[in-house]
């Protein structure tokens, strides 16, 4: 399978999670210079199925890649989002090679997988794209990001990273720290060593790696180790952070008497 060109368009790709399900948010992320956003359909409960179509349209209009994190290896979500034309899928809690194979099978057409085929969907321009072209190109257009978030997945990374059709191996440091009995200690030496091991193994197999980080120092650290796909912050947290700082800057006069 040919490599997705977007993943290799820059040295580093940076984007936040999106939980505010408004097209204006996606547009503003593009205007701010982010490379992608990841709709969070796993946590938060603020994005529903009816929202996704307009968010995809906003992303395409502004030239930003839109992916979606789904609730595990779920065939319904995978098929539905890919048929809509989402830019990629971020699939959490991958623990074994079998998990990775199942994710790819649901997301790719034959011969790589067994994704349900319908050429009358938006991804095929409602049959405007010739069926042979759609079937041939669909497997390389969608980006499949597998999330390693626990000790079991980290231990099985050699086998997981050998599965054909995986574009990015992504590490969730908070869940990994919890799985290691170090909840929230994402910079604990044992946690960073486990993440670095995953990065090194994937690098040896020429697989793009990704990490979530919520600080500029995190961006600097992981990018220096060769991490290309950098999931940075969350839109709700970004707004709250800015709102608090903006409020704190105000100096209001004090009235006495």
Q: How far apart are the first and last CA of the chain?
A: 76
Residue 47: per-residue pLDDT: 85
Determine contact, residues 228/208, Cβ cutoff 8 Å: yes
pTM to 2 decimal places: 0.95
**Helix axes 49-62 and 75-84, enclosed angle (nearest 10):** 40
How many CA atoms lie within 13 Å of 55's alpha carbon, on the beta-carbon side?
27
What pLDDT was estimated at residue 50? 84
Predicted confidence at residue 29, as pLDDT, reads 98
Q: In the prediction, which pLDDT does 257 show?
A: 60
DSSP 95: -
Question: For residues 223 and 230, is the Cβ–Cβ distance under 8 A?
Answer: yes
Instruction: Report the Cα 114 to chain-centroid distance in Å.
Output: 22
Q: 13-242 maps to which CATH number?
A: 3.20.20.60
Residue by residue, pLDDT tens for the chain (257 residues) are 567 899 999 999 999 999 999 999 999 999 999 999 999 999 977 788 889 999 999 999 999 999 999 999 999 999 999 999 999 999 999 999 999 999 999 999 999 999 999 999 999 999 999 999 999 899 988 899 999 999 999 999 999 999 999 999 999 999 999 999 999 999 999 999 999 999 999 999 999 999 999 999 999 999 999 999 999 999 999 999 999 999 999 988 887 76
Give the CA angle between residues 164, 168, 170 to the nearest 5°: 130
Q: What share of the chain is helix, strand, coil (3-state, %, to 5)?
A: 45, 15, 35
Q: What pLDDT is stored for residue 1 in this prediction?
A: 58
Residues 175-226 have pLDDT tens digits of 999 999 999 999 999 999 999 999 999 999 999 999 999 999 999 999 999 9
Q: Where are the domains of the chain?
A: 13-242
- In contact, 231 and 212? CB cutoff 8 Å: yes
pLDDT of residue 114: 96
């Amino acid at each position: 399978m040919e490599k997705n060109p977007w993943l290799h368009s820059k040295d580093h790709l940076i984007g936040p999670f999106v939980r505010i399900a408004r097209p204006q948010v996606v547009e503003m992320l593009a205007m701010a210079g982010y490379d992608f956003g990841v709709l969070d359909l796993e946590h938060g409960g603020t994005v529903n199925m009816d929202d996704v179509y307009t968010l995809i349209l906003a992303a395409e209009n502004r030239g930003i890649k839109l992916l979606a994190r789904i609730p595990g290896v779920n065939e319904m979500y995978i098929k539905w989002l890919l048929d809509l034309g989402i830019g990629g899928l971020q699939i959490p809690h991958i623990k074994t090679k079998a998990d990775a194979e199942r994710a790819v099978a649901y997301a790719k057409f034959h011969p790589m997988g067994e994704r349900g085929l319908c050429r009358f969907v938006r991804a095929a321009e409602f049959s405007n794209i010739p069926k042979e072209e759609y079937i041939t190109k669909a497997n390389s257009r969608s980006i499949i990001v597998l999330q390693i978030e626990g000790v079991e997945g980290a231990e099985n990374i050699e086998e997981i990273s050998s599965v054909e059709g995986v574009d990015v191996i992504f590490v969730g440091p908070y869940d990994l720290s919890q799985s290691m009995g170090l909840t929230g200690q994402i910079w604990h030496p044992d946690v960073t060593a486990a993440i670095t091991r995953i990065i090194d193994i994937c690098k040896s197999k020429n697989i793009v790696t990704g990490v979530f980080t919520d600080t500029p120092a995190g961006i600097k650290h992981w990018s220096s180790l060769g991490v290309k796909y950098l999931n940075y912050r969350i839109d709700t947290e970004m707004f709250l952070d800015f709102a608090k700082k903006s409020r704190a800057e105000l100096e209001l006069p004090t009235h006495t008497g």
